[in-house]
């Protein structure tokens, strides 16, 4: 189907007409395998009524579409028998008149090849995958269109409503007796038929399709409990659930059309199952009821009043939003401070919450990137939502995205179920298992970091909460690269001007530090004008720095053009210091940190702690610190983006450790450094790669963790979540009395 689309587009048949043509062909292929049409009726029509070169295929399809939109009583009396035998479809699917297309032999062959597949057992995922396969990557990025797999859809709808409905059904089925049991089942059946569901970013309708299918399967179980299987039934009267209970909003026309048609197709699939169970043919043809799919911007239009809201809103980070998206987010969050710092998906959280304020029984669940439960977004988004009375009822912690579509997104997601009513049984699904299998954890409360703990919000903090040593960023050159040198550039420069060697210092950004990449800089802060002017090659570089700064749009950078020999931000430590990269791979269990000497210049992609000892090294290298970091830090793509103000300054160090405990940590820290020293040719990236990490280094870290844990508590921790919950309790005690402690 994707190939057929591409070939039609290549000849100039594009836009809305192409999209409708593709959807109609999809319906016809499905219809002949599912009893809407006779078996092979559509494919035989193509084979027998069109020429092999495809020259008349467009005309025959146009005639067929016209016939499918006409009741049998209104058709021409002398209509070709092969056309006259097609069923009347209705539902506006074939109502629109399309401009004539043009086919050739290859296109006709592609259509016939597609018809050879058994479309009756098609997965609902195909509809989203079909759409994504014909979108170009640029459109896909701009729309944030990442189509959810059925597995992930079930995570949402099962936790939001299907599990509860199943439990309710099982209780009625087991406990009831006689007429009272039948009456209770009938009332439950009626309840199912009156539930309403909304996906306000529905795309091609995958969430709606799977949710409707699961609802119909539950309804069938209810019907089988009420009626005997061999009982003669008017199936049409006993099936009460319908696609009209489902509502969707989609900004793009093509996927909105696919969603509408896909809901008819899944409805027919479910009707076929009912027919098989009761030995009768049940088909809702001609189409009457339809899903309510709006082709609109969900942030601009009214949302239908429903029982459940769910879906997969667009994943667009704050820096990648278009002007229109930024404005839409601002409009929705007019009462949210610092709304511009949030990802686009948060607009759906905010709008859903405002709707729930008017209809407090609504429950909502969205798939989102995990950035909304990390870093600076937590105080902004969840500070607002919790103030509105929101409770998190269930949460799927970070898991790897999976999709059936071509060009699928490589992202890490969370699923959050929330409402204005607190659920009795709150559940966290944890995916720390190496195979990605979820572990269900009962929780008393789920906070914005998806931890079973109080609703603590970690805000930016200027000073370290435990009065530990200050951490700051390294020095920033803002030089256009002209003060920086790689190994070859350094050697060439010294060969030309040997006197420059004493002004060349080792330099490192975060990535250089982790990967042991040789890098250098010209550190000219104490170089006299007389000595500087004798180094012509250096002067050329200094002049380029001046020119680069003058061209900067920032006034502060322009002013630094008068001091082109210096870094614009000089935070170099006068003592040896501990260095920690600002960005580190999420694959690592530990952020690689290490000591550097004063003559080693730290760039601004390194965080530094001057005068640090083995004690600070041990604490920051521990699992306690890394577990806390993983929960509260922000992300750069999927990598950890370590923030001094959010992570380090809020991290609770052990409170009043004894000298013996401190010495144990220092000794264990030295053992870690000794284990590293055995591999002088290996970088920190190698040493802390989970697949390459040496056994003795891992054992050294395990010993360090025991020493650090002992300085905090005698409590034993089974997982990282328990560690973070403990640290949050400690954090809460430290910030007691502060106004921003708990929202």
User: Would you say residue 742 has pLDDT above 50?
Assistant: no
Strand 600-602 versus strand 504-508 pairing type: parallel
Locate 318 and state its tokens: 């704050």
Contact 42, 5 (CB under 8 A): no
Q: Which of 122-136, 179-193, 415-429 has the lowest mean pLDDT?
A: 122-136
Strands 308-311 and 363-369: parallel
Please tell me the predicted confidence (pLDDT) of residue 327: 94
Pairing of strands 583-584, 197-199: unpaired
Rounded CA separation 220/236 (Å)? 13
Residue labelled with tokens 């429903």: 306
Per-residue confidence band for 320, with pLDDT thresholds at 50, 70 and 90:
confident
Mean pLDDT of 667-675: 98
> pTM of the entire structure?
0.83
Give yes or no for residue 536 having a pLDDT over 70. Answer: yes
Contact status, residue 67 vs residue 79, Cβ threshold 8 Å: yes
pLDDT surpassing 90 at residue 469: yes
Cβ atoms of 353 and 389 closer than 8 Å: no
Task: Give 270-281 as a DSSP string.
Answer: HHHHHHHHHTS-
- Residues whose CB falls within 8 Å of the CB of residue 643, separated by 6 or more in sequence, listed in order: 375, 376, 460, 633, 634
| C-alpha to C-alpha distances, 637 to 316, 377, 411, 430, 585, nearest whole angstrom | 11, 15, 8, 21, 10
Cα–Cα distance measured from residue 349 to residue 339, given in angstroms and rounded to the nearest whole number: 12
**Cα-to-chain-centroid distance, residue 187:** 38
For residue 404, say if its preceding peptide bond is cis, omega within 30 degrees of 0. Answer: no
How much is the pLDDT for 366? 97
Indicate whether 139 pLDDT > 70. Answer: no
How many residues are there in the chain?
743
Mean pLDDT across the stretch 324-351?
94
* Percentage of the chain lying above the pLDDT 90 cut: 71
d(CA 740, CA 138): 41
| Per-residue DSSP letter, 199 | E
DSSP character at residue 452: B
Q: Given its phi and psi angles, is residue 60 left (phi above 0), alpha (psi -120 to 50 degrees) or beta?
A: alpha
Mean pLDDT along residues 239-243? 94
Residue with tokens 């020493």: 707
Compute the distance between CA of residue 575 and CA of residue 627 in angstroms, rounded to an integer: 29
Which residue do the tokens 């610092």 mark?
Answer: 338
76-135 pLDDT, tens per residue?
999 999 999 998 987 678 989 999 999 999 999 999 999 999 888 777 666 666 665 665
Strand (E) or helix (H) holding 715? none
Residue 740 scores a pLDDT above 60 = no
Lowest mean pLDDT among 86-95, 100-109, 297-306, 618-627: 86-95
Give the per-residue pLDDT at 101: 94
Q: Which helix (H) or strand (E) holds 12?
A: none
Looking up tokens 């380090």 gives 648
C-alpha–C-alpha distance, residues 479 and 548, integer Å? 7
Confidence of residue 743 (pLDDT cuts 50, 70, 90): very low
Nearest to 500 by CA among 565, 583, 596: 565
Whether residue 674 is predicted with pLDDT greater than 50 in this model: the reply is: yes
Average of per-residue pLDDT across 333-360: 94
What the block records as the tokens of 179 is 């007429």
- Please tell me the predicted confidence (pLDDT) of residue 183: 93
With a cut of 90, say whether residue 654 has pLDDT above it: yes
Q: How far apart, in Å, are the Cα atoms of 330 and each of 303, 387, 680?
A: 18, 19, 52
CA R_g for the chain = 32
> Which of 667, 648, 675 is CA-nearest to residue 591?
648
Using a 10 angstrom Cβ sphere, with 0-12 exposed, 13-18 middle and 19 or more buried, the burial of residue 276 is: exposed
Query: For the sheet containing 426-430, what is the strand order?
Result: 292-295, 246-250, 197-199, 308-311, 363-369, 412-419, 391-400, 426-430, 439-443
Residue 281 buriedness (CB in 10 A; 0-12 / 13-18 / 19+): exposed
Residue 643 pLDDT greater than 80, yes or no: yes
Q: Determine the Cα–Cα distance for residues 44 and 55; give it in Å rounded to an integer.
A: 17
CA distances from 438 to 210, 367, 570, 589 (A): 20, 16, 47, 19
Instruction: Note if the bond before 206 is cis, omega within 30 degrees.
Output: no
Residue bearing the bigger pLDDT, 680 or 144: 680
DSSP 380: I
Is residue 705 pLDDT above 70, yes or no?
yes
Q: For the beta carbon of residue 175, count every other beta carbon within 10 angstroms.
A: 10
Model confidence at 741: pLDDT above 50: no
Longest Cα pair distance anywhere in the chain, in angstroms?
106
Give the pLDDT mean for 56-73. Answer: 94
What is the edge-to-edge ordering of all strands in the sheet holding 504-508? 484-486, 519-522, 504-508, 600-602
Q: What are the pLDDT digits (tens) for 195-221? A: 999 999 998 899 999 999 999 999 999
pLDDT at 133: 63
Q: How confident is the model at residue 434 (pLDDT cuts 50, 70, 90)?
A: low
DSSP characters for 398-448? Answer: EEE---SSTT----EEEEEEEESS--SSEEEEE--STT---EEEEES-B-T
Domain spans of the chain, in order of start: 2-122, 150-443, 472-734
Query: The tokens 């920690």 sit on which residue?
Result: 580
Whether the CB-CB separation of 253 and 15 falls below 8 Å is answered with: no
Token pair belonging to 579:
């260095």
CATH number (3.40.50.150, 3.30.9.10, 2.40.40.20, 3.50.50.60) of 150-443 reads 3.40.50.150
Instruction: Scan for tokens 């697949």, then name that residue.
Output: 691
Q: How far is residue 720's CA from residue 452's CA, in Å, rounded to a whole number?
A: 12
């Amino acid at each position: 189907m994707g190939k057929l689309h591409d070939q039609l587009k290549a000849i100039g048949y594009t836009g809305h007409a192409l999209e409708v043509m593709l959807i109609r062909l999809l319906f016809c292929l499905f219809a002949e395998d599912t009893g809407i049409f006779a078996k092979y009726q559509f494919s035989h029509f193509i084979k027998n009524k069109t020429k092999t070169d495809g020259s008349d295929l467009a005309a025959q399809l146009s005639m067929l579409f016209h016939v499918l939109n006409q009741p049998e009583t209104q058709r021409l009396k002398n209509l070709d028998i092969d056309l006259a035998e097609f069923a009347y479809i209705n539902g506006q699917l074939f109502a629109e008149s399309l401009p004539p297309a043009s086919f050739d032999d290859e296109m006709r062959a592609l259509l016939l090849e597609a018809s050879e597949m058994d479309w009756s057992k098609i997965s609902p995922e195909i509809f989203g995958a079909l759409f994504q396969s014909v979108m170009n990557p640029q459109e896909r990025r701009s729309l944030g269109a990442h189509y959810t797999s059925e597995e992930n859809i079930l995570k949402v709808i099962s936790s939001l409503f299907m599990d509860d409905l199943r439990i309710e059904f099982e209780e009625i089925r087991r406990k009831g007796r006689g007429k009272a049991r039948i009456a209770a089942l009938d009332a439950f059946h009626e309840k199912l038929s009156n539930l309403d569901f909304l996906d306000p970013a529905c795309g091609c309708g995958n969430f709606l399709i799977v949710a409707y299918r699961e609802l119909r399967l539950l309804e069938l179980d209810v019907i089988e409990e009420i009626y005997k299987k061999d009982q003669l039934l008017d199936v049409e009267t006993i099936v009460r659930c319908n696609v009209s209970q489902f509502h969707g909003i989609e900004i793009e026309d093509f996927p909105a059309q696919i969603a509408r048609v896909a809901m008819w197709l899944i409805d027919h699939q479910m009707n076929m199952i009912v027919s098989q169970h009761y030995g009768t043919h049940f088909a809702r043809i001609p189409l009457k009821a339809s899903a309510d799919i709006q082709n609109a911007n969900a942030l601009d239009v009214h949302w239908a009043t429903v029982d459940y809201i769910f879906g997969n809103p667009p994943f667009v980070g704050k820096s990648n939003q278009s002007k229109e998206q930024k404005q839409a987010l601002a409009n929705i969050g007019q009462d949210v401070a610092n709304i511009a710092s949030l990802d686009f998906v948060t607009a759906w959280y905010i709008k859903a919450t405002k709707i729930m304020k008017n209809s407090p029984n609504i429950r909502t669940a969205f798939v989102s990137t995990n950035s909304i439960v990390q870093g600076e977004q937590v105080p902004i988004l969840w500070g607002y939502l919790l103030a509105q009375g929101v409770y998190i009822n269930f949460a799927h912690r970070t898991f790897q995205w999976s999709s059936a579509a071509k060009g699928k997104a490589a992202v890490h997601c969370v699923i959050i179920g929330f409402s204005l009513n607190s659920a009795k049984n709150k559940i966290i699904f944890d995916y720390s298992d190496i195979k990605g299998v979820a572990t269900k954890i009962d929780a008393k409360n789920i906070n914005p970091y998806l931890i079973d703990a109080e609703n603590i919000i970690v805000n930016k903090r200027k000073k370290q909460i435990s009065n530990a040593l200050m951490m700051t960023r390294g020095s920033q050159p803002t030089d256009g690269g002209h003060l920086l040198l790689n190994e070859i550039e350094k050697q060439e420069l010294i060969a030309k001007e040997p006197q420059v060697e004493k002004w060349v210092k080792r330099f490192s950004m975060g990535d250089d530090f982790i990967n042991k990449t040789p890098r250098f800089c010209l550190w000219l802060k104490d170089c006299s004008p007389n000595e500087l002017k004798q180094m012509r090659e250096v002067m050329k570089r200094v002049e380029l720095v001046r020119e680069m700064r003058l061209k900067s749009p920032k006034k502060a950078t322009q002013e630094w053009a008068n001091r082109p020999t210096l870094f614009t931000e000089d935070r170099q430590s006068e003592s040896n210091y501990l260095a920690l990269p600002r960005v580190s791979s999420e694959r690592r269990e530990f952020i690689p940190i290490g000591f550097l000497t004063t003559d080693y210049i730290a760039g601004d992609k390194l965080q530094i702690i001057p005068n640090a000892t083995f004690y600070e090294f041990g604490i920051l290298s521990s699992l306690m610190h890394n577990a806390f970091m993983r929960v509260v830090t922000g992300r750069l793509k999927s990598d950890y983006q370590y923030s001094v103000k959010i992570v380090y300054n809020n991290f609770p160090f052990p409170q009043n450790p004894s000298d013996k405990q401190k010495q144990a940590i220092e000794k264990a820290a030295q053992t870690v450094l000794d284990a590293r020293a055995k591999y002088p040719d290996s970088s920190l990236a190698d040493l802390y790669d989970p697949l390459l990490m040496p056994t003795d280094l891992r054992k050294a870290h395990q010993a360090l963790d025991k020493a650090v844990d002992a300085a905090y508590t005698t409590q034993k921790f089974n997982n990282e979540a328990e560690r973070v919950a403990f640290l949050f309790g400690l954090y809460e005690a430290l910030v007691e009395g502060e106004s921003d402690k708990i929202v």
